[in-house]
Every structure is written in C-alpha cells, then in structure tokens.
A and B are shown apart, each in its own frame.
Chain A
Amino acid sequence: MYTQGLNVADGDKSIPIERRDDPREAAFQRRVDAEEKIEPNDWMPEGYRKTLIRQISQHAHSEIVGMLPEGNWITRAPSLRRKMILLAKVQDEGGHGLYLYSAAETLGVSRAELVDQLLSGKAKYSSIFNYPTLTWADIGAIGWLVDGAAIMNQVPLCRCSYGPYARAMVRVCREESFHQRQGYELMLKLAQGTPEQKRMAQDALNRWWWPSLMMFGPSDAASIHSSRNMAWKIKRVSNDELRQKFVDVTVPQGHFLGLTFPDPELRFDAATGHWVHGPIDWSEFERVLAGDGPCNKERLAARRKAHADGAWVREAAAAHAAKRAARASRAAAE
C-alpha cells in the first residue's frame, strides 16, 4: 500500500546506475522481460535490490504508521460490530506490515534496521497518515478513499517481478478486500443517517479527498526512477494512470452517497469517458512528506514510545528463551 507516491519523490542518489555491459545485468533483464519471478538468492543488480528494500520497507512503515489514525477510534467505535470490524482491520494492517517487513528481510536487511530507519525519521511512509482522524466519519473515509486508492496501487504489485513482494501483495490484496467495503458501508450508513451524520460524512470527504489523490504521487512522466522501475517490473502502472482509474470509480460512488467532492472543477468528460479533476496542490504533498503535516510528530512519537516501552519485554522474552535452551541442553548432556 501507499508506496506509489514515494518512489519518485525523493530522487535517491544512493541507488547506482547499472552497468549495461554487465552480462549478468542483461541476463537478469531478459528474465524480467520474460515475466519470470526473481527470488531472494538469485543474482540481481544492486540498484534493483536497493530500490526494492526502500519501496517494500516504506510500504511496511506505511502500514504500521497507518494503524495509528484508525486505532485512534477503536475505543470509541459506536457499536460492538463496528468495534470488532475496526479492530480486525487495524490488526490486518499490522499483519500487512509484518508480511512486508518479511519480504524486505529476504533482501538481506533486518527488521531491526528497518524499524530504526522509521524511528530515526530517515525512512518515509505515506503522507496520508499524517492527517488526523477527527470524527467517526474519518474511519469510513479512510476505508473508502485511502484503502480504495491503496487497492489501485496494490493490485498491479501482485505482478511485481520480485517473488516475495508479489506473494506478500497477493495475501495483502486478498485480506484488504473487506477494508474498502466496510469503509463505504460505514459512509453509506452516515449518508443515510441523521443530518448531523450526513454533515460528518461530508466533512470527512472534504478533508480526505485531496490527500487521497496525492497518495498516487506526482506525475511520473519525467522521472528516471520511474522508467527504470517500470523496466524492472517493480512498478507496473504510472501514477497518473492509477490516479485516473481511482477518480473514475470513486466519483460515482460519492455521488451515490449524495456527497459533494471539494473540487469545483470536477467534471465528466464525455469525449474521453473520464472524470477530470482540478489541479492538485503538490506543495502540500511535499510539505507533509517532508515532515510538516498535522500529525507527523505525533505519529513518530507514538511509534517511538511503543518501541521504547516494549524494549524490556522483547529483551525478557529473548532472555527467557536463552535460559530455556540452556536448561534443555544441560538436561540433554546429563
């Protein structure tokens, strides 16, 4: 989820340009071109490995940080059913983070290193999670819009050239299929509810619409990384194409709810059959991604606190396992 917008945003110079005269590189590219999956022990260009580690870990971080805005409402869910749905959904996101960290680990990086990168502020995660969940309708809006956008991104990733990432994404997509539906159902309930509930739904759409469009990232036509990632089949569809697909399916869903999109320029172009949206404020995207969003500091602080508070627990479990193993080997020696 959520990595589409990040690949191109930071123009990482540490990823080497490949040497086209390396025969291994050419053989690798032939395999990728033939839609063969690349597996952990296979030879791969250093740039491919680094790009994947960065993308998969950003993806994992986004899932983990993404637990926080929704988790903010678990204790306030308005019915037992909603509470169980939300808890199960946020739990799934933890699971998705776990699958993705595992996929990254097959590339020779440890979870500890990746977590340190997140906590130190070095690693990025999707900017969408730096917005606050102010009302209950935000839980619906996140499911409908944010998970909806994520699905657009994730379905092509199931065909990614790197086997462990593709397999993790198949599992993620299968599990995510209920996330967007529950979000839309929640919005529908509000839209058909009291005037205050409807107002709540509209307000949530007003706040989440533009950040959701930003999730796909800036137009990638000019990006060198983007074209290389396409050739490597790490990325399979352009940001703009995915965004358009999202807008085309989402706008009619919003209209069905009786809600208005916060874009006066939004219109249907009968000639192309597409919904056309107004210009996106990319300065906001850059600013929030760089750290200055409404909740950036809280999100990182919450992750750091959980990690620091859990240190003694992780150590205790490891210490106990070591004691047990030592006792078992002593017993075996006797």
Chain B
Amino acid sequence: MAIPVRKFDAVIVGAGGAGLRAALQLSEAGLKTAVLSKVFPTRSHTVAAQGGVSASLGNSEPDHWHWHMYDTVKGSDWLGDQDAIEFMCREAPNVVVELEHFGMPFDRNSDGTIYQRPFGGHMSNFGEKPVRRACAAADRTGHAMLHALYQRNVRANTQFFVEWMALDLVRDTDGNVQGVVAMEMETSDIYVFQAKATLFATGGAGRIFASSTNAFINTGDGLGIAARAGIPLEDMEFWQFHPTGVAGAGVLITEGVRGEGGILRNAQGERFMERYAPNAKDLASRDVVSRAMVTEINEGRGCGPNKDHVLLDITHLDPEVIMSKLPGIREISIKFAGVDPIKAPIPVVPTCHYQMGGIPTNYKGEVVVDGKPVSGFYAAGEVACASVHGANRLGTNSLLDLLVFGKSSGNSMIDFIKAAPKDLPELNTADVDRSVARVDRLNNQKNGSNVHEARAAMQRTMQAHCGVFRFKDMLAQGVEKILEVEQMVKTTEIADKSKVFNTARIEALELENLIEVAKATMISANARTESRGAHVRDDAADTPERPNGRDDQNWLKHTLWHREGNRLDYKPVNMNPLTVETIALKTRSY
C-alpha cells in the first residue's frame, strides 16, 4: 500500500519547550515547518516544571556565566562536555531575556527585574556560596514558559499536527535522514513527513520506572525511534532521582521549596543534610540529597508507620511567602499528600525524574555519530545528550537546555535547509515499509502478550535493579530480566482494533520505545563499574584513591549503546571549553 507523503522544509517531532523554541526560529525564518505532537502543545511535559530556569542575570547579587558553567561541570561530575556547557551558560541570559520579551510572566523584584531564587548547586565565585540564579514564575515556571512559547508560535503561524505520533525515522541508503513516518491518532492513518531537516524534541522516558514524576506521555519515543534506526544512545545509565517526589504519589515538589528555605528532616526531626553536605546542606546537588535520604531511610530513620519517607518542612516559613512563591506546591501537597504545608511537613521520597543521557548531539543540535553529524538529523531537550548534564543535572538547567538547544538546533536547521538542494530527494521506501510492518505486526498479533503486564514487568525491573543505589549482582540480573521483558514486548497483542483514537494501540507502540530505553539503561549501567553522579554502585565505593568511587582513569568517557547486539562503545568527554580554560577534575563535595 502506498503511504501518502507530505513535504516540508523541516519537521519537528515534539512540541514541548525545545520543539516550540526550535519551531519559532524556523517559522520566523519563513520556512515550511511541521510540528508533530502526541498531545496539544501546552500539554507537553515542560508544563510540569516548577522551580525556575537558570541564567546568570545577577538581578539580586553578582553572578557570572563562568560560575554557572563551573557549577554545571561540577554538578555533572565532570562527565558533561565543556564546550556545550560553556555555550549553554553563556547563552542563558540572552534566551531568558528573549523569553521575557515573548511575554513570559516572570515574578519580579522590587526594581522590576526578573525574580531569581536560590537552587541546588547554584553557587557564586566557583563554588563558594549559594547564589540566586533560578528565574521563576512562582512555582509554575514550566507552565508559564510552555504557554509563552506556544503563544509566540501562534503569532508566528507555526503549523501544528496535534495528536500525531511519530513511528519511525526514514534514512536514505547513505544514512541521511529524510523525515519520519507518523500516525494520526484520531484516524490511525499513516503518513510520511518528508523534510530537508528533522528535529527530535520528544522529551524523556521516565516511564521506564515504576515510580516517576514524569507524565504518562514520557515514553522515550524519539529514543526508541533513533535506536531502531541505528543511532546509538549516549550515557543512558544516568537517571536523576529527584529528592522530593510526594511519597506514594510520585508527583514532583520543586527544589525551589528548599530554595525558599525548606528543610529536610528525618524521623528524629534532625536536619540530616548538615551531616552529608555541611556547606550547601539542603541545597546540595540532587544526586547527593537523594542518596542521603535513602541512607536515612535504610538506616531506620525514615518517617511514617513504614519508615519509608522523610519530611520536607516549610512550616517555619512566612505563610505569605508560601502563598506567593509556592502556591502550586501548596495545592499539590493538599491534593496528593493530604497536608497543608503551612501547617505540617510534606512526606517525600526520591523519585525518578530526568534522563541525563539521550541521542548524541553537539551544541549546535546536530546528531553526531562516529564523530560526524548525521545529515538532516537534529535533537534537542531531554531526548538529546549534548552533553550538558553529564552524570547529574543541576536543577533549572533542564528548562535552560530546552531554550538554548531548541534555538541553536533551529538555527542549524535553517542554515542546512538553505544550503540544501531545492527539491527533496527520492524517498527510501524500505524504511517506510519497515515501519508499516511494525504496526501491522501489532494489529495482527494473536496469542501474544499483554501490554499492561509487559510494561509493569519492565517498570518493576527498572525500579528494583537500577534505582538510587545500584548493586553489581542486581544489575547483572537486571540485564537478564529486561531482555526477557523485551521478548514479551515483541509479541504484544491488542484486543482493540478500532481505527478511531485507539489509545490501546498507542500505548503498545509507546512500549516498543520504552523497552529500548530500558535496555540501554540497564546494559549501560551494568557495564559502568564506577560511581559517578547519579550512577552509584556498591562495588565502586568511596576510597582515598577513588573519592566517591569515581574512576577517572578508566571511566571519564561517554557510554554509547547500540541496539544492534546491545553493543557498547565509548567516546571521550570533551574537556575543552570554547573560550575559557578547562575546569579541571576535582573531588566533588558540597
């Protein structure tokens, strides 16, 4: 059957912060751009970001992009690429001011400038003392930003394809990317979106874990698609567990709560972070705080009848501050934890939150494989690995990542499209056929496995074998188990055969993407026999020779997982910034 083809200059998959920021560049440049999204743009997961977006505006006290860069490199446990980090931190003030010009309703200081609050790992003067760098709109920064970007795209007449799911990439025989195969969810119709340049801005895959702050839609579609198309995935062992998810519900409570003065307490009421991070205390980096919390719980100092969480206390704050700066948190806390934080502390546990790894790119948003850009293919945001977050992301650098790399990839695409031949080349229909065959397999499967059961098995395995603390034996078993789950995913069957808005089919297709991410994560984690950032294992303990269990001699390198044969290879970390000196390796402490 011939699949209809729609032609564009650019196709963008995903309409969260990165996709919308890139779309704006392309639309304003007058290029014919299609933006595909599984959900209406303002429902993308960027909407759930709370605390802020970092930029060294220095509105409350002196700050400098170089200090921001230092904090980001240190936060990454030196796994971040220093060229990309310098680029992001230098660009930060520009893209945040631009966002303000787009209409973003930032909170304000008394002099009318953008309000900034302290955040974990944000320090002045190369790690000296906390600095106000997180630009905020109350505790709804992501919501305000996503809506402002969508609104600006309405102004720019960007063409959206809402409730379309990308299925697979189309590459020509030389590997150049020609576009994507996609399904309209309302009708189940399949089309090819052929374009000179294709951007993936599909977000993360937090749904590989049983307990996650992530939305249902965060199913790693771009990662699954890229992996099937032969693109390796970088540093997938690094997942951020956010310290403060609401216990039991998983819903996020922003680090901005601690930025505004919130304190973590154990069952004895002790401010335990003073023991783990004497300088930064509750505002240490997220991996450090999450591990401290789990240690408290494991050693019997957890709270509640099951001693399975700790408490986030803001009862000492002025209720006025809570109402004006943290209204969303109060709402979430009342709705999901049943407590009003003005009166009682919030029960919290570390919860899977953010994927540091992704599709390998450079700071221009170009997808890079074997040291060369893949012609016509770009990625930005959580799906991409530039790599600015390395082994651990700093709070508020995610929204910044979307703005900076959404914009830079948009600009790279404009240059590429302008230099490309006017007519689109002939489409490689073999890739299209493969994609259609994948959907046909699902539609026609008999005596197969159940999607819900396979997904639950994957999520349980990831949670038990690849969590905050990792264990050599558990990781090895985890690899076996996840490969068993993969077999289930290969034969999923759906009873719903309707052509109309078939969410059962969508969930089955999403699972085919999630499982690729789960495999990449478990296999990469099993192989990395050191502790670094968010990846900490029992057989790489803190010793005088290897502080924190980090092994720079053997592991100062990026992992690359290839789907074909689950092969791993590695590439060096770029320690060379664009204009300043290398931020030299150091033991990480807060």
Q: A and B from one assembly? A: no
Instruction: Spell out A's residues near B (CB within 8 Å).
Output: none
Instruction: Spell out B's residues near A (CB within 8 Å).
Output: none
